[in-house]
Amino acid sequence: MAELTSRRGGRIAVLKPQVFAWVQDYGVYAAVLTLLLFNVLFTPHFLDAANFRTQLVQVTPVVIVSLGMALVIGTQGIDLSVGSVMALAAALTVLYLGYGWLPAVVVAVIGGAVAGLAGGALVAYVGVQPIVATLALLVGVRGLANVLVPQLVEFRNPGLIALGSSSVAGIPVIVLIAAALTVIVLFVVRRTTFGRQVVAIGGNRSASELSGLPVKRVLLTVYVLSGLLAALAGVLATARLQASDPTSLGLFIELSAITAVVVGGTPLTGGRIRVLSTVMGALLMQLLAATLIKHNLPQSWTQMVQAVIILAAVYATRKRGTR
């Protein structure tokens, strides 16, 4: 009996790491499929095309911001300024809209990249902790955006409105842009030297420095990309809303982005970036919120369920990291 118990315990000990690995690799996909099946069976009009379009459009800013956040977290960093960068991009867009919608978008994206440059310089060259550097930017950049545009400003520029509301073959343009950015970031992470350097620095920064990798330059670039993507998300959100609202645009989106990245299986300890799973993590959070709302459950339930999912994801990635 003792031998059987020992064998059983040995099998369980062997299976536990495999279970955690499976959860980290495919758990978010299984959760999305489960929620989809639940909604197909129990949520009226879930399969309507308009509903799918709404869900995809609403999750687009989170997906774009999460792509940059995944790169930052891959280096063991964090970027809390992304929501404020979105607000700054919204303010710059309406300020320069008189020169045409395309120049306004370019200025807004450059503004986001500059904000990311400031955060990256503080982290890479000054040695400030990422959470402190980007927290300072969160406050400062939001304040700057509110100074530039103190109140909500509506606009009627046809080009910018088309960017936020037009479709190609029934698919919203902003969704296509998010999909294209996902492919680009996936290619960068998996196929480029820069992507391998990001993962290597996140895995072991000291060893990367000793091996001659341009650690500071890579860190700076990662934060610039995060700011650039956040600014683009801000422009698209502004175009969709047909109004610039720096006071509320992007509020708490940094939490949604971090959640998507962690739930997608990218560990907060860095050294690993899961791009497609990050997108699925964002979809999971959007689908979960929509499901609870459609079944008349209060917003507080969404927050509590999200908290449980985050803790489970962090636990799963921690277990894998200790193997």
Mean pLDDT for all residues in the chain: 89
Gap between the Cα atoms of 4 and 62, Å rounded: 50
Gap between the Cα atoms of 264 and 275, Å rounded: 8
pLDDT band at 8 (very low <50, low <70, confident <90, very high): low
Gap between the Cα atoms of 16 and 210, Å rounded: 35
What residue segments make up the domains of the chain, in order of their start? 56-310
Total-model pTM:
0.90
pLDDT tens string 36-74: 999 999 988 888 888 889 999 999 999 999 999 999 999
Cβ neighbours for 251, distance < 8 A, ≥ 6 positions apart:
83
pLDDT tens string 87-104: 999 999 999 999 999 999
* pLDDT for the residue 3: 55
CB atoms within 10 A of CB 310: 17
Of the ranges 37-41, 193-197, 231-235, 303-307, which one carries the lowest mean pLDDT score? Answer: 303-307
* pLDDT for the residue 268: 87
First to last CA, the chain: 30
With H, G, I as helix, E, B as strand and everything else as coil, classify residue 166: coil
Spell out the alpha helix ranges (H) of 149-192: 158-165, 173-191
Of the ranges 95-104, 222-231, 253-262, 289-298, which one carries the lowest mean pLDDT score? Answer: 289-298
152 vs 308, which has greater pLDDT?
Answer: 152
For residue 166, CA distances in Å to 151, 160, 320 come to 26, 10, 43
Helix, strand, coil fractions of the chain, as percent rounded to 5: 80, 0, 20
CATH topology of domain 56-310: ABC transporter involved in vitamin B12 uptake, BtuC (1.10.3470)
- Residue 322 in this model has a pLDDT that exceeds 60: no
- Of the candidates 104, 93, 135, 106, the one whose C-alpha atom is nearest the C-alpha of residue 118 is 135
* pLDDT for the residue 47: 85
CB 264 within 8 A of CB 92: no
Q: What does the angle CA 99 – CA 100 – CA 104 come to, to the nearest 5 degrees?
A: 80
Q: Rg (Cα) of the chain, in Å, rounded?
A: 21
Gap between the Cα atoms of 232 and 89, Å rounded: 8
